[in-house]
Chains A and B, each alone.
Chain A
């Protein structure tokens, strides 16, 4: 019994990481209806940037965030204004094709610079430390990851619903023309949204890199997990995204408990069940 409870707790914590994968995806889709196929590869790019920073400066991966986050945010802004804005319009196909191309470019560039060898971020003591919670042993890093995920979602929620920037995001999402009449330059607002999304991607990438080894090819899988968390939680609802990540994480760890080979499959099955029962996800956005 305690073993199953343990698996559920691990799953919940894993869900925090998936929610971090999903948050940026959800934000971008919410603001500009852009489905970013390169999202997973950007997570891996951030992990590699974290690797280079830790190696070059000899700092802990958490400190590397101070460099990787602004870099990713800047990259996001430049990418949005330089490339992605031009693809947005009534047709949803161009942004899909362009971000797919971007995904291929990032993977190949990473392969070129870092080779296909699996790498890992040196987390030090925090990686192996664990706590005993009433008979269930939980790692400090997964616990920390979950805490960071909750904090990030709360932060995004605050930005979205309590700040002038967030008002701009929602206004542009509602009606681009009228938002423009209010003095909002949508090209700039979209750039800021992508910058914010990639800042979150930086956090997700560093936490992923400390938790497991990574190589240039695994971005696609992270994209799928992010997607599933967003869809399970319901589009446009950030707390729902956290719930979606948790459900996906729990399904995976329970699947793995039955048979290690079932981990990923169990997650997909949970996703399909939710999709079949509630096509709009469990917590679709309520207006305002």
Chain B
């Protein structure tokens, strides 16, 4: 069996006394796109923070291409090729649009993504490149957040609710751009409240409930009822 890109084994996460994740096991193959869904507070963001090194774990709780990375700092994880598009965009307010993108390239990994290619994907950003990132609309800010992650030329990219708070037309625009991003051999994990959107993009889906995986399956196999049950914790 080929080496998995990402392997979580018995991953826990805690905030003080509160346990947010309980013994998660999960495997992503190279080039795979998976969706992670779940109700508010299910632990989706916590999962992404754990993978990206913002929350530290046992070394072997998170493996990346076989290498234990669970205890690494976020900057070390980033250097290995994992990028996170964080919930709520979280651009740097003191940096211009272009500087936000450039700092994404700070990890210095070789690959197809550079300023020119990001501007090709989101032309509006080139027009606004000298502006403060805070002066952009929500959708444009989300484009910067995505571009910033791409500038690192990651092999694994994590999207945390990129449609949150955006108008449907903007969401459609951003999701239209996604295939050309993850089509380039990247492995991706998409956290989304908009279930239909997430399922349309992915080949497998995980549903989190109160810090545990309540449902897992190939996208075409899981039924609407199963998702409803896993999502709301009721028997369908």
Contacts and interface: CB of A to CB of B under 8 A. Distances in A.
Interface string A170-189: 11011101111111111000
Given A164-B106, A171-B92, A175-B92, A180 B84 contact: no
Interface stretch (B71-79, B179-187, B198-206, B216-224): B71-79
Interface string B50-62: 0011100000000
Contacts of A168: 103, 106
B155 to A, nearest CB: 14
B152 interface: yes
B41 interface: no
A170 B52 contact: no
Contacts of B229: none
Given A167-B103, A182-B152, A183-B152, A174 B95 contact: yes
Contact of B94 (A174, A177, A181, A186): A174
A168 B84 CA distance: 18
Contacts of A183: 75, 78-79, 106-108, 152
A90 interface: no
Nearest to A183: B107
Interface residues of A, number: 20
A45 to B, nearest CB: 32
B96 interface: yes
Contacts of A112: none
B103 A174 contact: no
Nearest to B90: A178
Interface in A76-133: none
B95 A171 contact: yes
A287 interface: yes
A71 to B, nearest CB: 28
Given A287-B132, A288-B132, A182 B94 contact: no
B187 to A, nearest CB: 17
A287 B99 CA distance: 14
A182 B74 CA distance: 8
Contacts of B104: 182
Contacts of B52: 181
B44 interface: no
B66 interface: no
Contacts of A177: 54, 74
B86 interface: yes
Given A177-B54, A287-B132, A182 B93 contact: no
Contacts of A184: 75, 103, 106
B102 interface: yes
Interface in A147-170: 164, 167-168, 170
Interface in B30-78: 52-54, 73-76, 78
A180 B92 CA distance: 12
A156 B126 CA distance: 28
Contacts of A185: 73, 75-76
A170 B95 contact: yes
Contact of B73 (A173, A178, A180, A288): A180
Interface string A33-56: 000000000000000000000000
Contacts of B193: none
B54 A181 contact: yes
Contacts of B75: 180-186
Nearest to B97: A288
A180 B84 CA distance: 11
Contacts of A287: 93-94, 132, 134
B83 to A, nearest CB: 8
Nearest to A186: B75
Contacts of A181: 52-54, 74-75, 78, 83-84, 86
Closest 8 pairs (CB-CB, A-B): A183-B107, A288-B132, A180-B74, A183-B78, A174-B92, A170-B94, A185-B75, A171-B92
29 contacts: A167-B95, A167-B102, A168-B103, A168-B106, A170-B92, A170-B95, A171-B92, A173-B94, A174-B93, A175-B90, A177-B74, A178-B90, A178-B92, A179-B92, A180-B53, A181-B53, A181-B54, A181-B75, A181-B86, A182-B104, A182-B152, A183-B78, A183-B107, A183-B108, A185-B76, A287-B132, A288-B93, A288-B94, A288-B134
Interface of A: 164, 167-168, 170-171, 173-175, 177-186, 287-288
